[in-house]
């Protein structure tokens, strides 16, 4: 049984549908054939018995005068005509009131065990006795003559003709069932071809997409049905995947380029600023070694101290640009508060920062960094594109949901058109924010319209993601 179930699971849809159609056709054909056979057999038997009773009564009525006149010749003629004209009548014989045979259709070969096989009761109109013979089932019908005073008519009604008729009917039903099965197979084949063709194409296309080939599409049928709708949705999904893959590639290129540019910037700053400051410090120390005047030594030492302080500040600024230490030391709220306070001098944007429900909240490093970078990118976009000098940032934690909202009242933009545009700089920035949030299981929503400003929502479910105090200390 398990092998059958496993086999059914692995066979294709076309075979399954054709098997179902064939099974239903055979089941219905067999059931209808059985019902037809049983109904016809019952009705034909009833008609056969009624015909036998009617024939027996006819013979009984015609034989009264012949028995009174002892006209045995015409009795034989009457019996012969009835047997010849009715194929269902197997035999007829007449017994007188003493039980002697006065006429029969057997000639001299009347079976002895047949004579007493059916006895009619007094005052009964007729009596029927089924007999199982070598020729099949025969209904022996006894009809009294002149209320039994002159004897009894006995005749046997054979089922032979009924069997022939039922046999022909069953052959017709079987042929009809076979024809229905053949038509069902053809219909099922056509139906499954129409149904499975786009599905097979989808499977092949999915394999191609899995290999990174997005140029193959599903050929839609001329039917406007659910399968066609599924094919359209599938092609649309492939197009979206192609766009997403292209955006990922462009984003990766931008990240690599940004990394190289950042390295070049750090190298330049280390060479141009920090390197020069350290060189000046070395020269100053050498000059200090050669100086004999005490006052001159004190002045040069003060200059070297100031140069050292300036160099340390440059290194701190450089380190802060790479990774804000406040993010690890004091947490997300403090890091955002410090960054938004510095935005006025760094970006030329005054930022109003508010935090609710985040006191004592310790987040995992990747969540802290994601929120920080999204706010950083969003405020950078405000400075570049919004044409306003004010913005607001809200950080709120309610239950297990952490929400960050970045809002400005600037010129706004068409979100869908921007994501579909060829302007990679702005599009990749928005896409990069989405990718960052998606990687930690969050959701980023951008609401904006031309002339109505822009609002960016970041929602992150913190259930199971809030770092413990121990983890927080280890990260710090």
pLDDT tens-digit profile of 454-473?
Answer: 999 999 998 865 544 444 44
Task: Count CA atoms closer than 13 A to 321's CA, side-chain side.
Answer: 12
Q: What is the pLDDT of residue 473?
A: 46
Instruction: Outline where DSSP puts E strands in 253-384.
Output: 350-356
Predicted pLDDT of residue 474: 45
Helix, strand, coil share of the chain (percent; to 5): 65, 15, 20
pLDDT score at 432: 80
What percent of the chain is predicted at pLDDT more than 70? 83
Q: Is residue 87 part of a domain?
A: yes
Question: What is the pLDDT at residue 153?
Answer: 94
Does the residue 267 lie in any domain? no
Q: Provide the pLDDT confidence category of residue 475 given band limits of 50, 70 and 90.
A: very low
Residue at a domain's end among 170, 193, 213: 170
The answer on pLDDT for 414 being more than 60 is yes
Scan for tokens 């009457």, then name that residue: 78
Residue 44 lies in a domain: yes
Closest CA to 153 of 69, 54, 71: 54
What pLDDT was estimated at residue 271?
A: 59
Averaged confidence pLDDT in the chain: 81
Domain at 128, CATH number: 3.30.450.20
Q: Which of 170, 201, 222 is the last residue of a domain?
A: 170
Give Rg (Cα) of the chain.
Answer: 53
What is the CATH classification number for the domain harbouring 449?
3.30.565.10
Residues 306, 312: Cα–Cα separation, whole Å: 10
Residue 290 has pLDDT above 80, yes or no: no
User: Is pTM, for the whole model, over 0.85?
Assistant: no
Domain assignment present for 46 = yes
Q: How many domains does the chain have?
A: 2
Given 133, 151, 170, which residue is the final one in a domain?
A: 170
* Strand-pair partners of 457: 405, 445
The pLDDT tens digits for 107-148 are: 767 777 888 888 888 788 999 999 998 888 999 999 999 988
SS3 label, residue 95: strand
Q: What is the rounded CA–CA span in Å between residue 53 and residue 75? A: 18
Does 257 have pLDDT greater than 80?
no
Per the domain annotation, does 69 fall within a domain?
Answer: yes
Among 215-229, 367-381, 436-450, the least confident range: 215-229
**pLDDT at 62 > cutoff 90:** yes
Distance CA 285, CA 276 (A): 14
Distance, CA of 66 to CA of 94 (rounded, Å): 12
Query: Is 80 exceeded by the pLDDT of residue 162?
Result: yes
Minimum mean pLDDT among 104-108, 148-152, 153-157: which range? 104-108
| Overall average pLDDT of the 158-166 stretch | 90
- For 338, the domain range is 326-475
3-state class (DSSP) for residue 414: coil
Ranges of beta strands (E only) in 67-211 are 89-95, 101-104, 127-133, 136-145, 151-158
Mean pLDDT for the stretch of residues 285-308:
76
The count of residues in the chain is 476
Inside any domain, residue 446? yes
Angle between the N-to-C axes of helices 160-210 and 13-68, in degrees from 0 to 180, rounded to the nearest 10: 170
pLDDT at 428: 66
Asked if residue 210 belongs to a domain, the reply is no
Query: How far apart (Å, rounded) are the C-alpha atoms in residues 241 and 448?
Result: 24
Do strands 350-356 and 127-133 pair parallel, antiparallel, or not at all (unpaired)? unpaired
CA 164, 169, 175 angle in degrees (round to 5)?
130
Specify if 53 maps to a domain. Answer: yes
pLDDT, greater one: 204 or 60? 60
User: For residue range 348-363, what is the model confidence (pLDDT) as tens digits?
Assistant: 889 999 999 888 787 8
Give 17 or 339, the one with higher predicted confidence: 339
């Amino acid at each position: 049984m398990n092998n059958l179930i496993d086999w059914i699971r692995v066979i294709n849809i076309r075979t399954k549908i054709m098997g179902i159609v064939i099974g239903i056709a055979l089941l219905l054909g067999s059931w209808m054939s059985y019902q037809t056979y049983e109904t016809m057999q019952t009705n034909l038997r009833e008609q056969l018995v009624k015909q036998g009773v009617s024939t027996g009564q006819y013979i009984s009525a015609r034989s009264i005068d012949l028995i009174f006149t002892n006209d045995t010749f015409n009795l034989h003629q009457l019996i012969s005509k009835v047997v010849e004209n009715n194929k269902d009548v197997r035999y007829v014989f007449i017994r007188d009131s003493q039980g002697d045979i006065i006429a029969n259709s057997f000639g001299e070969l009347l079976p002895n065990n047949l004579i007493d096989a059916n006895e009619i009761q007094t005052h009964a109109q007729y009596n029927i006795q089924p007999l199982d013979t070598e020729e099949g089932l025969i209904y022996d019908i006894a009809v009294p003559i002149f209320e039994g005073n002159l004897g009894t008519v006995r005749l046997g009604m054979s089922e032979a003709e009924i069997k022939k008729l039922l046999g022909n009917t069953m052959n017709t039903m079987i042929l009809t069932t076979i024809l229905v099965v053949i038509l069902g197979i053809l219909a099922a084949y056509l139906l499954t071809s129409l149904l499975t063709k786009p599905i097979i194409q989808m499977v092949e296309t999915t394999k191609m997409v899995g290999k990174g080939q997005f140029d193959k599409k599903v050929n839609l049928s001329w039917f406007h049905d659910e399968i066609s709708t599924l094919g359209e949705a599938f092609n649309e999904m492939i197009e979206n995947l192609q766009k997403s893959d292209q955006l990922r590639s462009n984003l990766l290129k931008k990240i690599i380029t940004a990394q190289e540019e950042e390295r070049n910037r750090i190298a330049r700053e280390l060479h141009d600023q920090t390197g020069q400051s350290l060189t000046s410090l070395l020269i100053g120390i050498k000059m200090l070694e050669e100086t004999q005047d005490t006052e001159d030594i004190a002045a040069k030492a003060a200059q070297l101290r100031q140069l050292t302080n300036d160099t340390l500040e440059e290194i701190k600024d450089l380190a802060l640009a790479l990774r804000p230490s406040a993010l690890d030391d004091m947490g997300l709220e403090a890091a955002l508060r410090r960054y938004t306070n510095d935005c006025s001098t760094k970006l030329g944007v005054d930022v109003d920062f508010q935090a609710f429900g985040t006191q004592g909240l310790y987040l995992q490093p990747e969540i802290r960094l994601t929120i920080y970078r999204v706010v950083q990118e969003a405020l950078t976009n405000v400075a570049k594109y919004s044409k306003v000098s004010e913005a607001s940032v809200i950080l709120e934690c309610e239950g297990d949901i952490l929400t960050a909202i970045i809002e400005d009242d600037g010129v706004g933009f068409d979100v869908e058109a921007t994501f579909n545009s060829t302007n990679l700089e702005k599009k990749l920035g928005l896409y990069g924010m989405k990718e960052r949030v998606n990687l930690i299981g969050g959701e980023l929503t951008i609401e904006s319209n031309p002339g109505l400003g822009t609002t960016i929502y970041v929602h992150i479910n913190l259930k199971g993601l809030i770092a413990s105090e121990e983890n927080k200390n280890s990260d710090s």
